[in-house]
Amino acid sequence: MNSVINKIDTGYRVFANWASYLQPVVLLIVRLYWGWQFFQAGWGKFKDLTKPAEYFGGTLGIPFPMLNATVVATTECVGGLLLLVGLASRLASIPLTITMIVAYATAEREALQSIFSDTDKFLESAPFLFLFATVLVLAFGPGAFSLDYLIKRFMDRKRLG
């Protein structure tokens, strides 16, 4: 019986080791896709800030709508570009995450309130995948295919040599 358990354990360890090679690729895909999506969303707001400002102020009742529209557009553009190239990725993911939480709390309040009662409504809401992507980068970093990784390697070599 022990030999069967040992074989299963060894097989699982080999599989887990192999699967870990997917992590940098998955993180790269997430950063590239969602970084670009954030950038496009922010750039779209910048094209005519009056539209998001009217939506923020009129429909959502957010105070200082023009200021908030500018802050959100800047956060999405700059944060999206930083995610895209993998520079200061974890730091960039913080304001992006906050922006998506605010989007849930204001524009998608009903979906947020149904997080436990109607999970599909929460998961199908527009901010969900944006939020999920930023939390992934915040938790796991940008991965090996990023400027953050190259800078870290350079700094490590500089310290050692």
Mean of pLDDT over the chain = 95
Q: What is the pLDDT of residue 3?
A: 87
24-51 burial, b if ≥16 CB within 10 A, otherwise e?
A: beebbebbeebbebbbebbeebeeeeee
Q: What is the pLDDT of residue 10?
A: 92
- Domains in the chain, number: 1
Domain interval for residue 68 = 24-160
Q: How far is CA 37 from CA 17, 62, 127, in A?
A: 31, 24, 11
Residue type, 126: A
Residue 32 lies in a domain: yes
Residue 5 lies in a domain: no
Cα–Cα distance, 141 to 133 (Å, whole number): 11
161, pLDDT greater than 90: no
Residue 86 lies in a domain: yes
What are the tens digits of pLDDT across the range 15-63?
999 999 999 999 999 999 999 999 999 999 999 999 999 999 999 999 9
pLDDT confidence band for 149 (50 / 70 / 90)? very high
Give the pLDDT mean for 91-104: 97
Q: What is the pLDDT of residue 160?
A: 83
Q: What is the pLDDT of residue 2?
A: 81
Cα–Cα distance, 18 to 21 (Å, whole number): 6
Q: pTM higher than 0.75, yes or no?
A: yes
Task: Determine phi and psi for 126, rounding to 5 degrees.
Answer: -50, -45
Residue 79 lies in a domain: yes
Residue 145 lies in a domain: yes
Alpha carbon 30 to its chain's center: 8
Tokens representing 81 are 């570009």
Residue 116 lies in a domain: yes
136, pLDDT greater than 80: yes
pLDDT confidence band for 159 (50 / 70 / 90)? confident
Q: What is the pLDDT of residue 130?
A: 97
Cα–Cα distance, 67 to 82 (Å, whole number): 22
pLDDT confidence band for 89 (50 / 70 / 90)? very high
Q: Please report, for the chain, how many H helices and E strands are present, in that order.
A: 9, 0
Residue 13 lies in a domain: no
pLDDT confidence band for 1 (50 / 70 / 90)? confident
Residue 3 lies in a domain: no
